[in-house]
Amino acid sequence: MSIDNLPPLREVIATHELSARKSLGQNFLLDLNLTAKIARQAGELTNCDVLEIGPGPGGLTRGLLAQGARRVLAVEKDARCLPALAQIAAAYPGRLEVINADALALDPLAHLTPPIRVVANLPYNIGTELLVRWLTPPAWPPYWQSLTLMFQREVAQRIIARPGSKAYGRLALLAGWRTDARIVLNLPPEAFSPPPKVSSAVVHFTALPVPRYPADAKTLEQVVAKAFNQRRKMLRSALKGLAPDIEDRLLAAGIKPTQRAETVGLEQFCALARQIKKT
Ligand code: SAM
């Protein structure tokens, strides 16, 4: 049984000639049972506005609406997808708003009413950038309650990585600082059309009411980006330039200047961000 009375996604793609474009990170989900399953991972949607980035032909959008989302705001860069999305909007009157825009350039808040959840099968080329933006607004809690996002599996593993592991870095620190993040679904390449080269995973992030440790978001982001940019170097060299007396600040944060970034935990990185922000 279909989750709605709309045509199957293969037919939608054929009718609207939506051949996938690599430059837009287009790997479409065609199985509506799977998109409904992803939508269920987002939690209770009936009282929420959902922000979806990159709806494409609308498989996940249909999953979200069928799961009872109060409203969906779908931001899609590719104008070719608009007629297919208009058909979905007509099937769910007043519940789907589509904006033809670049998600990196749009402030979605003007179009949303809290509580808000974000759910997306992200275009891989902008996924990390969007995630870092969602995790690093100056004030916390953010406008969203949760993020349910598809990433390449390797990126998902970096998000949930523990200190000391190879995958540990900027993403794990920023996610761990202000959210609870876990992998809720693994998907093989064949789940998509066309199949990408790598496997994927859905990560669910719940916003914590307050960050685990105090720190200025911008400073913390700069510190961890620089620290892991040269992850094999000792921190006193990797962070040179951030502050003239970087060794003293590292010591004040409880970090040995000779330590490498991957051995430093979240609490110490937050302490270091506070030491650096002092100037
Ligand atoms: N949600 C659909 C699905 O699951 O089948 C499509 C997912 S596909 C991986 C990513 C989508 O994001 C594409 O539809 C693509 O056109 C769109 N996209 C790419 N860059 C974008 C951007 N900067 N802003 C908004 N949408 C973008």
| Candidate from 16, 21, 22, 26 with most ligand 1 atoms within 8 A of CB, to mutate | 26
CB-based contact 236:265 (threshold 8 Å): no
27-67 tens-digit pLDDT: 999 999 999 999 999 999 999 999 999 999 999 999 999 99
In angstroms, what is the span from residue 51 Cα to ligand 1's centroid?
Answer: 13
Where in the chain does DSSP place strands (E)? 28-29, 49-53, 71-76, 96-100, 116-121, 144-152, 179-187, 192-193, 200-207
Across the range 136-145, mean pLDDT stands at: 98
Residue whose structure tokens are 């007396």: 245
Which residues make Cβ contacts (< 8 Å) with residue 248, sequence separation at least 6?
none
In angstroms, what is the span from residue 156 Cα to ligand 1's centroid?
Answer: 18
**Please, how many CA atoms are within 13 Å of residue 43, restricted to the half-sphere of its CB?**
19
155-197 tens-digit pLDDT: 999 999 998 899 999 999 999 999 999 999 999 999 999 999 9
| Percent of the chain residues topping a pLDDT of 70 | 99
77-134 tens-digit pLDDT: 999 999 999 999 999 999 999 999 999 999 999 999 999 999 999 998 999 999 999 9
pLDDT at 1 over 60: no
CB-based contact 147:131 (threshold 8 Å): yes
d(CA 143, CA 56): 24
Which residues make Cβ contacts (< 8 Å) with residue 275, sequence separation at least 6?
243, 249, 250, 252, 253
Residue whose structure tokens are 């600082």: 177
What residues flank ligand 1, with Cβ below 6 Å? 24-29, 53-56, 59-60, 75-78, 81, 102-104, 121, 123, 126
